[in-house]
Structure 1
């Protein structure tokens, strides 16, 4: 097992680059990339960094030269032979050859496109522009780089023994969470913590801790590189990015209203089983489910990723019941701001009514709260979202207006088209 404290103390970025592989990313990114490669390969998009925790002055904490070094390193990466063999030949969700030969040939020759970086006050403006299949693969590594550089800015001030104590405390904190989760009969939990992790080495340690501590209750990780190296399942389906871009390409309000369902119609053609998971909250879950075509009710489950999680699950159960489906055969995946207390409460409330699973993210892989003076290692809310598609603004409404993105006038238009009224504002923890 890696001595993380010593590695951090002695680290040199060429030995420990923050992102060390193109598959050091979330599995759903690769699944979505294949879908985009097939259906909209020439669409031009722009992604941009959004620091929702404006009190964290990233440009004062992170040296611009070091940031550029890490981003340039990512642009030098390509698939290794072993990584390509794993993607081509491994079984994912019970299916061999998940990734088609034409997509793999393209991916094996890919280098990520250029980026635009400039400092604006205490923050960085970081954007990526180009063909959608290429640009979308910047999201996860860009977030990982910024999160870890912020961590390193704090860690660089610490001595060798101070770092040993810090990581010992962090390991103890996580293991105490694992011990609490052991008592939840029938638990199913995956690591979803790549994008806002403390570091790659720490995420890898967390996955190993869950493997040993939870056994069969731990069902896998969203991180492809760790899944490959640790021989666990790669977990993931799709995300808000797909309906956001499809919606931006819509020419009329009627086309806009149909866009979220067109995304899933394209997905339906490619995937079956546990890959058919609905993410309904991009433009408001209530309206999405109310107007969903009947064939979507036959899908395997729903991911609840914003708003009150219990309300989201109750809404899903009611929708399945209204469409003649048995909720006990369906899957609800909770994935928003989870920690042990919330997981335990939701598991107790819903485990006998639906199949329940949890995608545990930032507070698994980056919970250093209370371990450093001033809480300078506490996680914060950083995202990288689709901002434009073919020159048109991309919008996300969410079930929590604090997570909404896009121009104000377009947000108002989307609320009108999708019938979104007053929403409860909830603190965005991470």
Structure 2
């Protein structure tokens, strides 16, 4: 069998296959982000794609290219959610049976959508606590049953399918009457950015391609430092669509050779950007979908006033039940929410002193919970405090320092702080 091509021509060929199937998603100007960085920022709305994620591009391209005999054997895949939806939708259209393995961290909304989009052709199997564990189970299934494995990123057919965003971008930016200086791309296993870089660096080499990883799952950064893919010992799964412990063997050399820069963004910044996208632009983005535009906040001053910057909003499959955690992470990131352990002596007036003298500027208590020491007594109180201005923290800490109460701030990153999340 001929090896699948991995070049700009293959991306163009994939675009012809996908043109009647996937949407050419909107490219929208963001006045909010443009004001932050001082140049035109455009959002490529793949959250409005069929299945609400770009992943359907690679999935359909691979499955539609299988022989009739291969399609009859069924396909199997592993996914954090969006790739599984792309496979499910593609199999429903092509009449192919599928088994989709997802980790327990996959939000319920994504699991339900996989089944709904599969229209009865998909068996959903929940296993493992990470994408990589689900991936091992899917690989074992393919070896055991002969089903065709559909990788979420590490396959040339998937990579060039994802890369079909690139020619769309160039045409849309030209129609907007500007020139693209930089494109910011979320990075998980590397399929999307590899596909975009293949086409752009061949057809528009002047465009700067920047990858954005979650700080808690920076597997491409680790691979570039090590000279090849390595497995991260731990992965923060908050940005579930990009929480990959090991990048692809196929994607890595493409990223190494063609991508200009990889940067990381912490989860709190992603959460803040998700909320801003929703509240200002009316865009529902999942954490991975907000990675690129979250990163642009750190790049003010890097662009000329005539440069156009594109951020890929890669997906919009966010579970509404997660918004409490998203708001929490955002407030902490902005310095508007802080947690303390407060020991109140067993004497009258201690709590009143804390409320009147320590919280003298009207700070809001959002959590107050005594920590139980044993059956007969309670320990200190866990107190969460919201500020209306991050600059007011210094005054609050000074009043705490002069208080007779024993007050200890819980720093972000401590084991207790992690428990609160």
TM-score for the superposition, normalised by structure 1: 0.29
Larger proportion of strand: 2
Which is greater in Rg?
Answer: 2
TM-score for the superposition, normalised by structure 2: 0.29
RCO higher in structure (CA 8 A, sep ≥6): 1
